[in-house]
Structures are given as C-alpha cells and as structure tokens.
Structure 1
Amino acid sequence: MGVSGSGKSTVAEGISTAMGLPFAEADRFHPEANIAKMSAGIPLTDADRWPWLSDLAAWMATQAREGQSTVMACSALRRAYRDVLRSGPPEVQFVHLDGPVELIAARMSARPDHFMPASLLASQVRTLEPLGADEDGVVLDLRHDPQTLVEQAVEWLAHR
C-alpha cells in the first residue's frame, strides 16, 4: 500500500516472485471512468472507489477459497478502504511503502506513460491514513532499493 509512485507495483511483483504467489495490480481493476478521471487530474471520490475496492476484495476471496494466497499492489490509502479489502479473504496483511514526498514526486515525473499525474500526489498524501496499531501491517522506507524492500517484506510476511 501507499501513494502513487511509492513503488507498490515493483515491490509487490518482487514479493509475488519470491513467494510464488499470484500478483494483481489493483489499477487494472479500475473501470474506464475512474481511469479517465485520474488521467484528467481529477481525484477519485469514495463513490468511485467503493465498487473498485469490492472487486479487489472479491478477487482475493475467490483466490483464498481455492487455497491460494495473493499479492496485490493497491493504494489502500484509508482505513475504510483497507476494511473493504479485509472483508474478502480470511487474512490480509499490508506492506506500506512510505517515504519523502519529494522522492515520490520525482519518481512520478519520471514515468510519463502512467495514467496517474504527479498533480494528484498531494491529494493522495492528504488522504493517506497510516496503518492503525490494530492493523496487520508493516511500514517500510521506500528510500531503500526495490530488492531490499522485497527482502524486508518477504521476511516480515514469513513470520505472519
């Protein structure tokens, strides 16, 4: 979890490979209307997000019913969003990639092919609610290189 540009997809794919688990990019579950809004620099509303989050939870629940754990790259910025994700499978752990906004903004500026413009970063930072003490998760410093972050996440997940 984390704001756009924090490295969620790269780290989640690394975790998926290291642990041999199916990977899903939450952005691919967005309906075209959501993509169009974000591409135009318009932040999503909760009304835009609820069906998307429900679809993510349903995908994880389906995999869990088949005995399969999963890895997903998803912003999961607010606790209420994470609550929806937790409503699907029996367990959900969160790896929050966190770090300096300036570094994230620089990363976003360097990826011109992504639909999420850097102009929405401030909105995401304002929306972000850190993991609560009662939420199963870990916060990792995104200033580390991706391989180190993958290793830290895999080690933490292995002890769950």
Structure 2
Amino acid sequence: MTQGKSFILMGVSSTGKTSVGTEVAHRLGLKLIDGDDLHPRANIIKMGEGKPLNDEDRAPWLERIRDAAFSLEQKSEVGVIICSALKKKYRDLIRQGNERVKFLFLYGSYELILERMRQRKGHYMKEEMLKSQFDTLEVPQADEADVIHIDIDGSFEEVVQRCITALKPYL
C-alpha cells in the first residue's frame, strides 16, 4: 500500500509554483492542491486591495494547508500542494502532525521574479507586494532537512525537470 505524502511547492509569488506544480503533478500522476484556493475570503479581498497579509491573516490558511497534507497522508494519496510557506514557523505549522511532508523551495533573484511577475495576467498579486514577500521570506537553512532547493533560473521545462528529478527518490 502506498504511503500518503505531500510535496509543498513553496516560494515567493511568481516563482512558478502553480504552473510548475501543475505540470509536475500531471507528469507524475499526483494529486494537485492549489493553496491559493484555500485562502479565506478576507485574505483574497485584502490581497486584491494590494495589502500584504500578516501572520494573523495567514493562520487559518496555513491550518487548511496542514489539514490538506494530513488528508493526503491519511488517504494514502500523494500530492503536490502549492503554498508560499515563506517563514520557518509557517513550514513548522504545516509539519505539525504530518510525518511525510517535503518542501520544494522555488527560488530566484528578485530581478528575475519581478520580470516574470510583470508578464503575468489575471493574478491578484500586485507587483508592489513582491518586496513584501521577499522581506517576509526566511530562506530554508540546513536545519530544515525536508526542504529541497530548486533554482528557477532557466526555462519552464528545465525547472519542471529539476522538480521531477528531486521528487523521484521520494515516490
């Protein structure tokens, strides 16, 4: 019987979490959960107004992410969950009660990500909020052994392949 597990695709906005995560899940036959769909209404409205979320805003959202990972484990399913997980304490919250969770940290330079953000259409994240995301980001360090770092500098296909290669030992 397959053990349930989740792979959290994390990083600041416009690193490709949704597009890369969707493609990786498709190619590997994994369930996909977009964390943006788990935000409470108040968070969506606040971000739509160009206001950054605070820790209090994020708490119910992170609990929903944690519960989604728990559900995958309990149902012996394997899935990719898209979630920025910018601070260590957010990642720690997601880890609570979840024994088989790994994080893929999509990272790149501010300039590269800003350029990609400018090319996006129809997303509620405002360009001005990218600086706030970088200010909030706590880059995972060696003490977070369950985090795999994926460089997004390269083509979409290269980034997808980096993720697939990184995940294969855990499938």
TM-score bin, normalised by smaller chain = over 0.9
User: 2:168 matched to which residue of 1?
Assistant: 158
List per-residue Cα deviations over 1:45-91 (Å, max 9, x = no partner): 10000110001110111121010121011101001011111124321
Distance 1:85 1:146 in 2: 27
What amino acid sits opposite 2:70 in the alignment?
A
Q: State the shift of 1:121 in Å.
A: 0.3
Tell me the TM-score normalised to structure 2 length.
0.89
List per-residue Cα deviations over 1:8-34 (Å, max 9, x = no partner): 111111221122110011011011110
Distance 1:129 1:80 in 2: 9
Distance 1:46 1:86 in 2: 17
User: 1:31 matched to which residue of 2?
Assistant: 40
CA contact (8 A) 2:14 2:117 kept: yes
- Segments of 5+ residues of structure 2 without an aligned counterpart are 1-9
Residue 112 in structure 1 maps to residue 105 in structure 2? no
What amino acid sits opposite 1:151 in the alignment?
Q
User: 1:6 matched to which residue of 2?
Assistant: 15
> Structure 1 segments of 4 or more deviating over 6 A?
none
Distance 1:123 1:71 in 2: 25
Q: State the shift of 1:130 in Å.
A: 0.9
| Coordinate RMSD, CA, aligned | 1.2
Distance 2:22 2:42 in 1: 26
* Residue of structure 1 aligned with 2:151, choices 134, 141, 151: 141
User: 2:76 matched to which residue of 1?
Assistant: 67
User: 2:88 matched to which residue of 1?
Assistant: 79
* Greater shift in the superposed pair: 142-151 or 23-32: 142-151
User: 1:94 matched to which residue of 2?
Assistant: 103
- Segments of 5+ residues of structure 1 without an aligned counterpart are none
User: 1:103 matched to which residue of 2?
Assistant: 112
